[in-house]
Amino acid sequence: MTDVDRRDELLGRARDHDASVAFLQLGDPSLSHELTRLADEGIATITLIGISLGPLAPGHSWLRRIAAHWWRERTGRRPEIQVATRLATDPDEVAAALADKLAETRPITGTEPGLTSPAWEQVPSHVRQVLICRGPRCTAKGSEETARAVILGAMEAGLGDDDLLITHTGCQFPCNQAPVLSVQPDDAWYGNVEAAAARAIVRDHLADGRPVEAYLLPR
């Protein structure tokens, strides 16, 4: 998510090296869309460099999974796709990665794991679902830090997948109260949830079942 929030910086660095930017989640263009655009332009070889600028990004394995899914599904001419074997993890390393392609790459062969797994078949068991707004206003007001505080706070409180399903959403609409977070099935909506408020909500509401009145929005 940090990667999406720093989109302009990434685009600037990419332009300096005749590269482009795509996202695995939350941002446009998606990786699949960008691969299609490059393939349609006749690019023969595409090198993918994974960039993770924060702790909440998807795992590196998803880069290969999604690229391989696109490659298998592509009906037109398919370019060769090489994937860097390690991630760039800070802005300075991004420039170095673009310059030397992170040295080692592995090709997409089409034999990589797909987008499904038996482990992802069922709706996960959970007591509460936490919906963190990642719409434009909430993102501008710092919902990245809200999300980080919720996830790290839940880990510190010992709350696991059976307790919480944490979901990032588009706009939840009470935008004047950004960053917004809601908890279901409690029908509790919170506004102005900066990192400190998020930690209080995790501690009191999600762990102990006591909604935090100071940040509740009227329903």
pLDDT digits (tens, 9 = 90+) for 51-87: 887 666 677 789 999 999 999 999 989 999 999 988 8
Task: Return d(Cα 32, Cα 71) in angstroms, integer.
Answer: 9
The set of residues, in sequence order, having a beta carbon less than 8 Å from that of 122 and lying 6+ positions away, is none
The set of residues, in sequence order, having a beta carbon less than 8 Å from that of 143 and lying 6+ positions away, is 132, 133, 134, 178, 179, 180, 193
Please indicate, yes or no, if residue 48 is contained in any of the structural domains.
yes
Looking at the structure, tell me whether residues 91 and 58 fall in a common domain.
Answer: yes
pLDDT: which is higher, 133 or 59: 133
Chain-centroid distance, C-alpha 150 = 15
pLDDT: which is higher, 8 or 152: 152
Chain-centroid distance, C-alpha 108 = 22
Between β-strands 128-133 and 181-184, what pairing exists: parallel, antiparallel or unpaired? antiparallel
Range of the domain at 168: 128-215
Instruction: Out of 75, 94, 118, pick the residue that ends a domain.
Output: 118
Looking at the structure, tell me whether residues 53 and 159 fall in a common domain.
Answer: no
Q: What is the token pair recorded at 62? A: 């998803």
Please indicate, yes or no, if residue 83 is contained in any of the structural domains.
yes
Residue 124 DSSP label: P
Over residues 32-41, mean pLDDT? 97
Residue 112 has pLDDT above 70, yes or no: yes
Per-residue pLDDT tens for 143-194? Answer: 989 999 999 999 999 999 899 999 999 999 999 999 999 999 999 999 999 9
- Percent pLDDT > 90 in the chain is 66
Instruction: Please give the tally of structural domains in the chain.
Output: 2
Looking at the structure, tell me whether residues 179 and 87 fall in a common domain.
Answer: no
Q: What is the pLDDT of residue 92?
A: 76
Give backbone dihedrals phi and psi of 132, rounded to 5 degrees, phi first.
-105, 120
The runs of H, that is alpha helices, within the chain are 2-5, 7-16, 31-40, 61-73, 91-100, 136-140, 143-156, 195-200
Instruction: Out of 61, 93, 118, pick the residue that ends a domain.
Output: 118
Q: What is the pLDDT of residue 1?
A: 44
Looking at the structure, tell me whether residues 140 and 105 fall in a common domain.
Answer: no
Looking at the structure, tell me whether residues 26 and 82 fall in a common domain.
Answer: yes
Looking at the structure, tell me whether residues 114 and 190 fall in a common domain.
Answer: no
Could you tell me the CA-to-CA distances from 126 to 49, 76, 102, 131, 184 in Å, in that order?
35, 42, 40, 13, 11
Mean pLDDT for the chain?
A: 90
Residue 21 has pLDDT above 60, yes or no: yes
Please indicate, yes or no, if residue 123 is contained in any of the structural domains.
no
Looking at the structure, tell me whether residues 57 and 137 fall in a common domain.
Answer: no
Q: What is the pLDDT of residue 119?
A: 86
When mean pLDDT is compared across 20-34, 35-49, 60-74, 83-97, the lowest value belongs to 83-97
Residue 40 has pLDDT above 90, yes or no: yes
Looking at the structure, tell me whether residues 14 and 40 fall in a common domain.
Answer: yes
Looking at the structure, tell me whether residues 104 and 186 fall in a common domain.
Answer: no
Instruction: Out of 118, 137, 153, pick the residue that ends a domain.
Output: 118
Task: Return d(Cα 210, Cα 172) in angstroms, integer.
Answer: 22
**Would you place residue 27 in the very low, low, confident or very high pLDDT band (cuts 50, 70, 90)?**
confident
Looking at the structure, tell me whether residues 49 and 104 fall in a common domain.
Answer: yes
